[in-house]
Structure 1
Amino acid sequence: MKWMTVFSLTWVAVMSWAAGTLTPVSSTDQLPQITDHVVHVVINNGFAMTTVEQVFVNPNDKPIEALYTVPVPQSAALSEMSILLGDLELQGEVLPRDEAERVYQEEKNQGNEAGLATKEAFDTFAFRVTPVPAQGQSRFRYVYYQPIQIDTSVGRYVYPLQEGGTDKAAVDFWTRNTAVNGRFEFDLTLKSAWPISAIRLPGVSDAVLSQNNGQHQVTIQRTEMDLTNDIVVYYQLAENLPGRVELMAYRPDDQTDGTFMLILTPGLDLKPLNNGANYVFVLDYSGSMDSKIAALQQGVQQALGQMNADDQFRIIHFGSSAVEWAGWTQATLENVQQISNKMAKAGRLGGTNLYNGLQAGLQRLDDDRATSLILITDGVANEGLVNPRDFHDLMRQYDLRVFGFLMGNNTNWPLMRAIANASGGFYAGVSNADDIIGQVLLAKSKITHEALHDAQLSIKGVNTYGVNKDFLGKIYRGQQLVFFGRYTKPGRAKLELHATLSGADKTYQCAFDFPEIDTDHPELERLWALASIEHAADMAHAGLLEATEADDVARSLGLTYQLVTDQTSMVVMRDEQFSAHGIERRNRDRIALERQAQTDRSQQPIITRRVDQDQPMFDRSAPSIGGGALDPWYVLLASLALAAAWFGTRTKS
């Protein structure tokens, strides 16, 4: 996150930086100071609400306009921006992007209090506030929602603070101040219908954990803190919980279509892959990886050293071009040592031609052996083919498992999602604050166990539409499936999951009711809208929808459900100014509805949302993390987390 002093509305490229105040290197003005940074998080079964409130001080003798940016968390629905003037809250409304910017400029030119929230590319939310009074302070707040998925019975929440290291231009352009010269507070409330066995915050020694009425609380309070490292919260569910289906729905009356969030936590008989397998490592050696390479190399070397003797591997590293370090190589001690020596001498390879790296990794596959491709990168594709459709077309040609790992923040989630969707693969982020267990849970058992293939979901008996997924491709061990959709009328529905396992057809099914009235979770409408926007973008990346149509979806749903998207922005000003501009107060009314529901939920006990108790969809427990010997994937993913953490230390110093 960062602050920048701006004296004209010249739309400079918003750079990806760590949390803190920013000003151009050429500026003679003093940096705005952060005096309070307060984060409140509520995880309510399937989704999280994050509220950030910040106070900053302008030490200059003239008013300024300030720009504050944050890394976009994965699938985050930005729904609120407010400027707080004592007891008065100025709330924002979402408009088409050009109109929001025009209105903000008019208010700024008149000297009125105003704010603007925009989405810049795929990785940054930007907030502008004007005017910040001379020698005075300003307070503002923003809120976003995001789905939280359980993986191998572990949930993971990330509050991103650290910059991703992918934008050298930002380093050259900005001067930054990452200090909080006052209060820093991080408060997380965890509400789960399923028992929690452990909570962990890697690298945090001063977190206070408490429990009351089934709710778990995590609190961090500090003074004079640097905003340079992410905060990661893991929570582990109790073992031997059933595979299950959960439904959260919102339908305010019998005349309105309902919205639902369907969560499948499979309990499947996916056996370990004990025969020899093939592994292709595709490693990003571009310039932005420079400070992460040493730890990355060590992890890959140790992973190779602990492979089974009948395993085979290839290693591709790429930057501006791709280089094969090793063709198919038996994982003998001698071969591993030779490759390790070669890796240690490798240099950086310039830009990031991700397509070329993947293309090289997909050559000379053995159809008779199970093959997994492990892609590790921290940046965005900036050389060669960069259109997601090209990646989709490439990956659709091959039947193999793809596991993508994005190191740090400000990474290209949409592109990695396109790669994973096309291949039926799995992807995850690696934060600077992650630790071994978190990354093991994301990938280890998926690489080393069977997977369901050709998975497809259907809902019968109730008219549903706008479901963000139906064809799933592969389903891996420990993977939780989350679906958003709409339904027209209540009633009894039959849910079916069709797939193949080891060549045999499998069907899993259950029946449950979609409610006639349910007012508990109005936030689901925004989450569904964002999922639909992402789905439209994925369709465009796959060539199944025109890019202009995907933009229309983002614009229409962004306006209807008041979300900041690539096509919409949020403008903040006084109530009378909204009236003067003839702007309807859609978001004000939606916020009031959501806040009332949140207040009501806070006074109620946590209830289970499971709907398949009478007819369980799965006959086994959901998998959980287990013990066992250290294997190569454990070591590799531990090292990825260490690499990211080491990079964070280097950046801070």
Structure 2
Amino acid sequence: MKKLSLTYASSCLLVIFLGFHTYIFAQKSEATGSEERTLSPYFVVLTENPDIDQMPLKSTSAEVNIAGVIADVKMRQVYINTGKKPLEALYVFPASTRAAVYAMQMQVGRRLIVAKVATKDQARERYEQAKAQGKTASLLEQERPNVFQMSVANIQPNDSIIVTMSYTELLVPEDGIYEFSYPTVVAPRYSTSIASFARANEKWIEQPYEQQGKAPSYTFDIKTRINAGIPIEEVSCSSHKTVITNEKDNSKLVKLDPAEKLGGNRDYIVRYRLAGNHTQSGLLTYEGKDENFFLLMLQPPKRVEETQIPPREFIFLIDASASMEGFPINVTKSLITNLLNGLRPTDYFNIMLFDNTHNFISPKPLAASQENIKTALNKIILRNAIGGTDLLPALRSAFNHNKQTDIAKTFVVITDGFVSLEKEAFDLIRNNLGEANLFSFGIGTSVNRYLIEGMAHMGMGEPFIATNEAEAVKAAEKFRKYIQTPLLTNVKVEFQGLQTYEVEPPTIPDVLAERPVLVFGKYKGKLQGSIKVTGKTGKGDFESVVNTALASTQNNQALRYLWARQKVKTLDDYNAVKLSWEQVEQILNIGLKYHLLTNYTSFVAIDSTINRQKQVASVNQALPLPQGVSNSAIGAQYRTNIVEVSSTNLNYNQSKSGGNTKRGSDGIRYALPDQTKLLGDSLVLSWDLVEDASYKNQIDKYEVQIYDLTEELLFKQSTPAKALIININKDKLAIHEHFIVKIIPLDKAGKPLINADNSEGISIHKLEAGQKNSLQSEVKTTFSTQKSWADKLFEVAKFFESQQLWVDAMNTYETASRTLKDRQKLKAEVLYQEFLERNNMSLK
């Protein structure tokens, strides 16, 4: 087995990664050109090239049909190429955190292509192949539970491509009010990830944006039909101007006012109340071909006010970063004023303001006296919004602050949620919260609901959204009610005479808000028996029994998708950052079986027609800044939104940039190649020595050696210059995802002046003969079994790990990740991450 080079030896070594996008900079930021450049959004700079349509998305629209408690949404995107060159359009857009995306289709002229679901890698591979062949194709991928990316390839000049995505979601009333929210734009995210080493699911963060106040370049429309089955007393839309009309069968139709056609820069929110303050509850069922599904919605008891409430300590974490400048920070100040004024004199509080840094206003908790509250508010009111959103350090510091007190704690996080480390935040809360709880407030017109809802879920609290100061006042009042006493605790569900399985969620949290208890699941055999829900209230024991004979069985096909989405939510949305292979495989199987978009499954649609023009320009659709968000949310980075223009559709990025050096074992320091460019089909390398070597005058030429990551030699050529141009197609390098480049100085006789193989790490060829033979025998035995190639690789990797041969284990996992396909490739990547975590200290 060949050895993987992990460190720089006394040759000049460069790892080149294939497949990353390179950007054309109109104005460089300070980090540009440095390996320390982090992922970040940027302001779009449109070029004057009339051949390329830089804003191919022309309109987005949605049709929403609400039947009972289930909403079915058809989202429509229209792409038109007004330029002269074929395009690939990349568009990042949001959806509800509860959306179960179950279908996609693409219309090319009169041809309608229904998308197929596949594993994420498989769908991407089919899409890239179709793009290279000149076929029109579309690919829908999930980046976060509420963030998706649509890629549409080979949009020919003057062509119109229409892509439709369908999803369903459950509407759950709170205080008798139903709310449907439709996000329209993904807000810019703050990230500390290094761009060149970012994970694939992070790269969407580098999005182009329009300047503050500039309207979207595409139009927006939405209409919502509400058929609740019983009369609707009140309907309102707080976010947009609408026209509301009465329809047949007690339904309402909400249409967007034509004046709002550029209103795709904030969440669209419709709320409605049923006659008599009625809420729909009970049991919904669906008998499928192979499986039967149910959904229990049980209204909790009324709140019981406690007369004696023990004192509590409140720790408020307020986001004061640059994205909160202006409108959001003003709403926050209104909110915190109401929250503090609602504290009782027996309570204690402290406030942390965080951006790139974080500081408490007091070294210890303050009594909730009027004087202390007034002093705290004065400090907050004078604070301006600046800097980045370093949420994790702020949370960590808050959890570790003043841990000695015996008073019950409640943490309150107030933020717009414009960060990318959602799961890391969930993990931090899960592992550090202890007996406390956490509530979260999302401030703004396009908040990151995934983060806001997830933090509250992990903190056993409730999320709140405040899009304006009036809603901030209402949210503060709700918070005061929720924190005093829960509606229902120790909730248990018992199925009597009904054979159920795969019930979600596994446990029912305490009920704080006046919204139904939800239980999803499957059942076998006949629908019979009853479901009993028990718990504790402020007055004593609670019990409610639902007879299955009263279940609603009509038009509930969506339960199949809703159960699958709830299962994925349990497995993935709020779970650990690193999932086990068993968890990943479950999610994968659910996505494929139920035709559902997940983090590991995607939709792909491919037209059969091959277009003549195959040279494609990729364009990242620029997004508007959400209403009320200032330019400070992005900073001063400007670029074009043309991702790549290349006949080969290939781009190379260096894993290290020019100017970095490495000292070899012979004491000589070498510069890494300081230029790596793609010109047409050619890869351009250049390099230099940093310090004079004793053999400086002996160098006659340089030999360029290119290997794959198992050190199989792919290319070798010598040159007298300190540069080389390589044709990547002619020399068959384009098929490799990444490879290693070594620059070897040669003397006049053609002999190497340094040892190119002098690299660090344990390998088979460095072991003693006896141990070497033993290991080779073990590996040979494994590969002689009848198991699949993937299973053989996994067993060999585990064997090397057991022998503490870290480099060889890493080499085997790298080989698996590079050579395997589809599901096994994903498994290799998951097992590799588990290996790295298990052996972190040993590898160091």
Normalising TM by the smaller chain, what interval?
0.7 to 0.9
Separation in 1, partners of 2:599, 2:499: 31
- Give the counterpart of 1:462 among 498, 504, 520: 498
**Residues 1:259 and 2:297 aligned together:** no
Partner of 1:317: 353
Conserved 8 A contact 2:293-2:560:
yes
**Residues 1:394 and 2:427 aligned together:** no
Conserved 8 A contact 1:34-1:179:
no
**Residues 1:353 and 2:388 aligned together:** no
Counterpart amino acid of 2:269?
A: V
Distance 1:124 1:418, change over 3 A: closer
Separation in 1, partners of 2:232, 2:76: 29
Conserved 8 A contact 2:61-2:75:
yes
Separation in 2, partners of 1:338, 1:390: 31
Partner of 2:268: 231
Distance 1:190 1:650, change over 3 A: farther
Distance 1:393 1:522, change over 3 A: same
Structure 1 residue 258: Cα displacement: 0.2
Where does 1:139-538 land on structure 2 (aligned, <5 Å)? 139-167=162-190, 174=208, 176=210, 184-222=220-258, 225-239=262-276, 241=278, 245-253=281-289, 256-271=290-305, 275=309, 277-278=311-312, 279-291=314-326, 292-326=328-362, 327-346=364-383, 348=386, 350-354=388-392, 356-357=394-395, 360=398, 363-364=401-402, 371-379=409-417, 386=424, 388-395=426-433, 397-398=434-435, 400-408=436-444, 419-431=455-467, 435=471, 439=475, 443=479, 445-502=481-538, 506-513=541-548, 518=553, 520-537=555-572
Structure 1 residue 392: Cα displacement: 0.9
Structure 1 residue 123: Cα displacement: 4.0
Conserved 8 A contact 2:80-2:160:
yes
**Residues 1:124 and 2:147 aligned together:** yes
Separation in 2, partners of 1:263, 1:463: 18
Aligned Cα root-mean-square deviation (Å): 4.0
Per-residue CA distance 1:293-321 (angstroms, 9 max, x = gap): 23312331343245444443222233345
Structure 1 residue 43: Cα displacement: 1.6
Partner of 2:128: 105
Per-residue CA distance 1:425-483 (angstroms, 9 max, x = gap): 22244457994587468645323444422223232321111111142231114122222
Partner of 1:635: none
Structure 1 residue 501: Cα displacement: 3.3
Counterpart amino acid of 1:541?
A: A
Other structure's SS at 2:424 match = coil
Other structure's SS at 2:548 match = strand
Partner of 2:591: 558
Partner of 2:808: none
Structure 1 residue 96: Cα displacement: 0.8
Per-residue CA distance 1:208-228 (angstroms, 9 max, x = gap): 333421111111142652521
Structure 1 residue 268: Cα displacement: 2.9
Partner of 1:605: none
Separation in 1, partners of 2:559, 2:22: 34
Partner of 1:636: none
Conserved 8 A contact 2:417-2:451:
no
Separation in 1, partners of 2:108, 2:470: 37
Other structure's SS at 1:491 match = coil
Separation in 2, partners of 1:271, 1:320: 41
Counterpart amino acid of 1:236?
A: R
Conserved 8 A contact 1:41-1:49:
yes
Conserved 8 A contact 2:325-2:630:
no
Conserved 8 A contact 2:284-2:551:
no
Structure 1 residue 355: Cα displacement: 5.6
Conserved 8 A contact 2:46-2:54:
no
Separation in 2, partners of 1:203, 1:175: 22
Distance 1:441 1:429, change over 3 A: same
Partner of 1:569: 602
Separation in 2, partners of 1:362, 1:78: 40
Where does 1:14-93 land on structure 2 (aligned, <5 Å)? 28=49, 29-93=52-116
Structure 1 stretch displaced more, 107-116 or 92-101: 107-116
Separation in 2, partners of 1:191, 1:385: 37
Separation in 1, partners of 2:70, 2:423: 35
Structure 1 stretch displaced more, 403-412 or 320-329: 403-412
Conserved 8 A contact 1:202-1:435:
no
Separation in 2, partners of 1:94, 1:197: 41
TM-score (norm 1): 0.76
Distance 1:324 1:273, change over 3 A: farther
Other structure's SS at 1:466 match = strand
Conserved 8 A contact 1:282-1:361:
no
Counterpart amino acid of 2:76?
A: E
List runs of 5+ in structure 2 lacking aligned partners. Answer: 1-17, 24-37, 196-203, 611-625, 635-844
Distance 1:120 1:192, change over 3 A: same
Per-residue CA distance 1:503-530 (angstroms, 9 max, x = gap): x762412132279995622221111111
Per-residue CA distance 1:268-291 (angstroms, 9 max, x = gap): 342256647433322223343344
Partner of 1:581: none
Separation in 2, partners of 1:384, 1:523: 28
Distance 1:63 1:538, change over 3 A: closer
Other structure's SS at 2:504 match = coil
Greater radius of gyration (CA): 2
Counterpart amino acid of 2:604?
A: V
Counterpart amino acid of 1:374?
A: V
Separation in 1, partners of 2:205, 2:600: 28
Structure 1 residue 487: Cα displacement: 0.8
Conserved 8 A contact 1:319-1:352:
yes
Separation in 2, partners of 1:17, 1:267: 46
Conserved 8 A contact 2:219-2:264:
no
Separation in 2, partners of 1:362, 1:238: 49
Separation in 2, partners of 1:318, 1:434: 24
Other structure's SS at 1:467 match = strand
Separation in 2, partners of 1:317, 1:473: 30
Distance 1:184 1:200, change over 3 A: same
Distance 1:542 1:184, change over 3 A: closer
Structure 1 residue 97: Cα displacement: 0.9
Conserved 8 A contact 1:30-1:59:
yes
Distance 1:387 1:217, change over 3 A: closer
Other structure's SS at 2:560 match = helix
Distance 1:339 1:439, change over 3 A: closer
Provide the aligned length of Structure 1 versus Structure 2: 568
Distance 1:25 1:392, change over 3 A: farther
Counterpart amino acid of 1:225?
A: L
Structure 1 stretch displaced more, 378-387 or 272-281: 378-387
Separation in 2, partners of 1:273, 1:162: 45
Structure 1 residue 184: Cα displacement: 4.2
Separation in 2, partners of 1:81, 1:15: 30
Conserved 8 A contact 1:418-1:542:
no
Structure 1 stretch displaced more, 325-334 or 481-490: 325-334
